[in-house]
């Protein structure tokens, strides 16, 4: 089956850095695609932007993880670092609140990259289409290499057509 460019929706890199395969992350929950499918980004700075336009559907109590539900209903999870929940919010500053509408590229969180590394955590950030949404995706194209947060596409997805 052939896909037109218009069949795909872009997910913009929520932070600048190097994109790696999700399977290369150190966390088996993410590498095993238990919570969804996507990519991971080794961050170059501590700013996270909205990967799609939509609504902030989830902010972890420790501010290390954000869900953005696109207007097409697809939920994108940005999970800053591996096991960073153990920091109990230290070093994470949310710039949005749950239920807030956001535009792609809008800053949603600042985090202290040096603190994360100094505390011994891996800052690699999974960016995934959640398991709640992935069943509606008929095709997913993932990027590798370096990306610029808020500008570069890190994933493209096509949705199953509703009948």
- 14/43 Cα distance (integer angstroms): 10
Catalytic residue (choose from 64, 79, 97, 118): 79
Whether 79 is catalytic: yes
| CA 90, chain centre distance (Å) | 20
User: Do the beta carbons of residue 11 and residue 74 sit within 8 Å?
Assistant: no
Active centre residues (catalytic): 79
């Amino acid at each position: 089956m052939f896909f037109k460019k218009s069949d795909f929706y872009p997910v913009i890199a929520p932070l600048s850095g190097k994109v790696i395969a999700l399977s290369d992350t150190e966390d088996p929950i993410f590498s095993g695609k238990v919570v969804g499918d996507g990519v991971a980004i080794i961050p170059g700075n501590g700013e996270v932007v909205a990967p799609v336009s939509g609504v902030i559907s989830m902010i972890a109590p420790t501010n290390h993880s954000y869900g953005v539900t696109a207007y097409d209903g697809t939920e994108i999870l940005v999970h800053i670092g591996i096991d960073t929940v153990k920091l109990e919010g230290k070093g994470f500053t949310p710039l949005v609140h749950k239920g807030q509408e956001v535009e792609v590229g809008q800053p949603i969180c600042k985090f202290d990259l040096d603190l994360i590394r100094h505390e011994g955590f891996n800052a690699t950030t999974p960016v995934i289409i959640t398991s709640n949404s992935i069943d509606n995706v008929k095709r997913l194209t993932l990027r590798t290499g370096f990306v610029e947060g808020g500008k570069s596409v890190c994933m493209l997805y096509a949705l199953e057509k509703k009948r």
